[in-house]
Structure 1
Amino acid sequence: MSEAISVRKQRIAKKQGPNDLSPTANLLVNVFFWIYTAACIMPLVLVIIVSFSDEKGVLIHGYNFIPDGWSLEAYKFMFKDWHQILRSFGISVFLATVGTAISLVMMSLYAYPISRSDFPHKSFFSFFMFFTMLFNGGLVPWYLVYTQMLDLKNTIAALMLPLLVSAFFVLLLRTFFANSIPMPLIEAAKIDGAGEVRIFSQIIIPLSLPVLASVGLFQVLNYWNDWFLSLVFISGSKNINLQFMMYKTMLDIQFLTSNVQASQGLSQAGGILQLPTETVRMAMAVLGIGPIVFAYPFFQKYFKKGLTVGAIKG
Structure 2
Amino acid sequence: MASQNKTHWLLHLVFLLIACTTILPIILVFMVSVTDETTITQNGYSFFPQKISFEAYKYLFLDSMTIIRAYGVTILITVVGTIVGLMLTALLAYPISRRDFPYKNMLTFFVFFTMLFNGGLVPWYLVFTKLIPLKDTIWSLIIPGLLLNGFFVLIMRTFFATSIPMAIIESAYMDGASESRIFFRIVLPLSTPVLATIGLFNTLGYWNDWFNSLVFLTDSKYYSLQYLLNKILLNIQFLSQNSRNTNASQIMATLPTETVRMAMAIIGIGPIVLAYPFFQKYFVKGLTVGAVKG
- For Structure 1 versus Structure 2, the TM-score category normalised by the shorter chain is over 0.9
The question of whether the paired residues in 1 share the 8 Å contact of 2:196 and 2:286 is answered with no
Deviation at 1:235, TM superposition (A): 1.6
User: What CA distance in whole angstroms lies between the structure 1 residues aligned with 2:16 and 2:125?
Assistant: 47
Deviation at 1:236, TM superposition (A): 3.0
Say whether residues 1:244 and 2:227 are aligned partners. yes
Say whether residues 1:102 and 2:84 are aligned partners. yes
Seen in structure 2, the aligned counterparts of structure 1 residues 183 and 287 have a Cα distance that, compared at 3 Å, is: same
User: What CA distance in whole angstroms lies between the structure 1 residues aligned with 2:256 and 2:276?
Assistant: 31
Say whether residues 1:154 and 2:136 are aligned partners. yes
Taking the TM superposition and a 5 Å limit, the aligned residue runs for 1:221-260 are: 221-260=204-243
Say whether residues 1:286 and 2:266 are aligned partners. yes
User: What CA distance in whole angstroms lies between the structure 2 residues aligned with 1:242 and 1:222?
Assistant: 13
Deviation at 1:31, TM superposition (A): 1.4
Secondary structure at the counterpart of residue 118 of structure 1: coil
Say whether residues 1:119 and 2:97 are aligned partners. no
The CA RMSD over aligned residues, in Å, is: 1.9
Counterpart of 2:188 in structure 1 is 205
TM-score (norm 1): 0.88
2:54 to 49, 56, 72: 72
Taking the TM superposition and a 5 Å limit, the aligned residue runs for 1:1-314 are: 22-162=4-144, 163-261=146-244, 263-265=245-247, 273-303=253-283, 306=286
Bigger radius of gyration among the two: 1
User: What CA distance in whole angstroms lies between the structure 2 residues aligned with 1:172 and 1:218?
Assistant: 12
Question: Any stretches of 5+ residues in structure 1 without a counterpart?
Answer: 1-11, 14-20
Question: Cα deviations across residues 197-216 of structure 1 (Å, max 9, x unaligned)?
Answer: 00000000000011000000
Secondary structure at the counterpart of residue 208 of structure 1: helix
User: What CA distance in whole angstroms lies between the structure 2 residues aligned with 1:230 and 1:198?
Assistant: 38
Question: Any stretches of 5+ residues in structure 2 without a counterpart?
Answer: none
Question: Cα deviations across residues 94-145 of structure 1 (Å, max 9, x unaligned)?
Answer: 0111110000000100000000000000000000010000000000000000
User: What CA distance in whole angstroms lies between the structure 1 residues aligned with 2:15 and 2:251?
Assistant: 52
Bigger drift between 23-32 and 98-107 goes to: 23-32
User: What CA distance in whole angstroms lies between the structure 1 residues aligned with 2:214 and 2:110?
Assistant: 29
The question of whether the paired residues in 1 share the 8 Å contact of 2:74 and 2:206 is answered with yes
Matched pairs, number: 289
Question: Cα deviations across residues 142-196 of structure 1 (Å, max 9, x unaligned)?
Answer: 0000011111111110110011000000000000000000111100000000000
User: What CA distance in whole angstroms lies between the structure 2 residues aligned with 1:52 and 1:176?
Assistant: 45
Bigger drift between 23-32 and 35-44 goes to: 23-32
User: What CA distance in whole angstroms lies between the structure 2 residues aligned with 1:82 and 1:293?
Assistant: 22
User: What CA distance in whole angstroms lies between the structure 1 residues aligned with 2:14 and 2:69?
Assistant: 43
User: What CA distance in whole angstroms lies between the structure 2 residues aligned with 1:220 and 1:257?
Assistant: 34
Moved beyond 2 Å, runs of 4+: 270-273, 300-310
Deviation at 1:305, TM superposition (A): 6.6
User: What CA distance in whole angstroms lies between the structure 1 residues aligned with 2:252 and 2:194?
Assistant: 54
